[in-house]
Amino acid sequence: MPDGIAAAASALRYYERRQEIVANNLANANTEGFKAERIFARLVGDSHPAPDTATDLRRGTFRETGGALDLATDSDGFFVVNTPQGERLSRGGSLQLAPDGILTDSAGHALLGEKGVITLGPGTVTIDRDGLVAVDGEPMDRIRMESLPPGTDAQHDAGTLFLPGATRQQLALGSRSVKQGFVEDSNVNTVSTMVDMISVQRAYANAAKALTTLDGIRATISNDLGKVPG
Amino acid sequence: MDPALRTAATGMAAQQTRSEVIANNLANVNTTAFKRSRAHFEDLLYQTVQGSTVVGAPDANSLPAIQVGRGTRLAGVQRVQQQGPIEQTERPLDIAIEGEGFFQVQLPNGSVGYTRDGSFGVSDTGTLVTSEGYTVIPGIKVPDDSTEIAISATGVVTATRGSDKTQTEIGRIELARFMNPAGLLAQGENVYLETPASGAAVVGYPSEDGMGRLLQGSLEGSNVEIVQEMVDMITAMRAYEINSKAIKNAEEMMSIANGMIR
Residue-wise pLDDT tens digits, B118-170: 898 888 888 889 988 898 888 888 888 888 888 888 888 888 887 788 888 88
Domain range for A218 is: 4-57+188-223
pLDDT tier at A101, thresholds 50, 70, 90? confident
Of the listed ranges A14-28, B53-67, B125-139, the one predicted with least confidence = B53-67
Q: Note whether A119 and A207 are same-domain residues.
A: no
User: Are residues B43 and A208, on separate chains, in Cβ contact within 8 Å?
Assistant: no
Select from A73, A76, A131, A82 the least CA-distant residue to A107. Answer: A82
Helix, coil or strand: residue A74:
coil
Q: Note whether B193 and B242 are same-domain residues.
A: no
Q: Note whether A180 and A70 are same-domain residues.
A: yes
Give me the mean pLDDT over the A95-113 stretch: 86
Q: Note whether B215 and B232 are same-domain residues.
A: no
The pLDDT value given to residue B62: 65
Q: pLDDT > 70: what percent of chain B?
A: 94
Q: Note whether A48 and A138 are same-domain residues.
A: no
With CA atoms as reference, the chain A residue closest to B81 would be A67
Helix and strand numbers (H, E) in chain B are 2, 20
- Residues B28 and B32: their CA atoms lie apart, in Å, by 8
pLDDT tier at A199, thresholds 50, 70, 90? very high
Q: Note whether A123 and A178 are same-domain residues.
A: yes
A185 with A62: CB under 8 angstroms? Answer: yes
Give me the mean pLDDT over the A137-149 stretch: 90
Give me the mean pLDDT over the B230-249 stretch: 92
Domain range for B25 is: 2-81+224-259
Query: What is the pLDDT of chain B when averaged over all its residues?
Result: 86
Q: Note whether B69 and B120 are same-domain residues.
A: no
What domain count does chain B have? 2
The pLDDT value given to residue A1: 47
Task: Report yes or no: A226 at the B interface, CB cutoff 8 Å.
Answer: no
Considering only the beta carbons, identify the residue of A31, A48, A100 that sits closest to B72. Answer: A31
Task: Report yes or no: A34 at the B interface, CB cutoff 8 Å.
Answer: yes
Q: Note whether B67 and B92 are same-domain residues.
A: no
- Residues A7 and A93: their CA atoms lie apart, in Å, by 44
Q: Note whether B211 and B230 are same-domain residues.
A: no
Q: Note whether A213 and A141 are same-domain residues.
A: no
- pLDDT at residue A218 greater than cutoff 80: yes
Give me the mean pLDDT over the A77-94 stretch: 90
Across the strands, what pairs with B85? none
Give me the mean pLDDT over the B30-51 stretch: 84
Task: Report yes or no: B21 at the A interface, CB cutoff 8 Å.
Answer: no
Give me the mean pLDDT over the A44-67 stretch: 85
Most A CBs within 10 A among B2, B22, B54, B177, hence the mutation to make, goes to B54
Q: Note whether A82 and A162 are same-domain residues.
A: yes
Q: Note whether A147 and A214 are same-domain residues.
A: no
What domain count does chain A have? 2
Q: Note whether A71 and A142 are same-domain residues.
A: yes
The pLDDT value given to residue A151: 80
- pLDDT at residue B55 greater than cutoff 60: no
Instruction: Name the minimum distance, in Å, from the CA of B64 to any CA of chain A.
Output: 6
User: Are residues B66 and A20, on separate chains, in Cβ contact within 8 Å?
Assistant: no
DSSP one-letter string for B49-116:
EE--PPTT-SS-PPPPEEEEE--EEEEEEEE--PPPPEEE---TTBEEEESS-EEEEE-TTS-EEEE-
Q: Is residue A146 part of a domain?
A: yes
Q: Note whether B27 and B72 are same-domain residues.
A: yes
Q: Note whether B130 and B232 are same-domain residues.
A: no
Q: Is residue A229 part of a domain?
A: no
pLDDT tier at A203, thresholds 50, 70, 90? very high
ipTM of the complex: 0.78
Q: Is residue A230 part of a domain?
A: no
Q: Note whether B127 and B67 are same-domain residues.
A: no
pLDDT tier at B57, thresholds 50, 70, 90? low
User: Are residues B40 and A12, on separate chains, in Cβ contact within 8 Å?
Assistant: no
- Cβ contacts of A48 within 8 Å, gap of 6 or more: A6, A7, A10, B54, B55, B56, B57
The pLDDT value given to residue B52: 53
Q: Tell me the pLDDT tens digit for each residue of B183-206.
A: 888 888 889 998 877 778 888 898
Q: Note whether B135 and B192 are same-domain residues.
A: yes
Q: Is residue A92 part of a domain?
A: yes
- pLDDT at residue A209 greater than cutoff 90: yes
Q: Report the Cα–Cα distance between both ends of chain A, in Å, rounded.
A: 32
Q: Note whether B205 and B244 are same-domain residues.
A: no
Give me the mean pLDDT over the A175-186 stretch: 90
Q: Note whether A119 and A200 are same-domain residues.
A: no
User: Are residues A26 and B40, on separate chains, in Cβ contact within 8 Å?
Assistant: no
Q: Note whether A29 and A102 are same-domain residues.
A: no
Considering only the beta carbons, identify the residue of B4, B40, B58 that sits closest to A45. Answer: B58
Q: Note whether A178 and A194 are same-domain residues.
A: no
Give me the mean pLDDT over the B53-82 stretch: 74
pLDDT tier at B262, thresholds 50, 70, 90? low
pLDDT tier at B220, thresholds 50, 70, 90? very high
Task: With beta carbons under 8 A apart, name residues in chain A contacting B100.
Answer: 124
- Which amino acid, one-letter code, is at B217? G
Q: Note whether A195 and A121 are same-domain residues.
A: no
The pLDDT value given to residue A2: 59
- Residues B103 and A179: their CA atoms lie apart, in Å, by 30
- pLDDT at residue B1 greater than cutoff 70: no
- pLDDT at residue A228 greater than cutoff 80: no
Of the listed ranges A1-5, B22-26, B111-115, B180-184, the one predicted with least confidence = A1-5
Q: Note whether B122 and B210 are same-domain residues.
A: yes
The pLDDT value given to residue A46: 77
Q: Is B189 exposed, middle or buried (0-12, 13-18, 19+ CB in 10 A)?
A: middle
Q: Note whether B45 and B144 are same-domain residues.
A: no
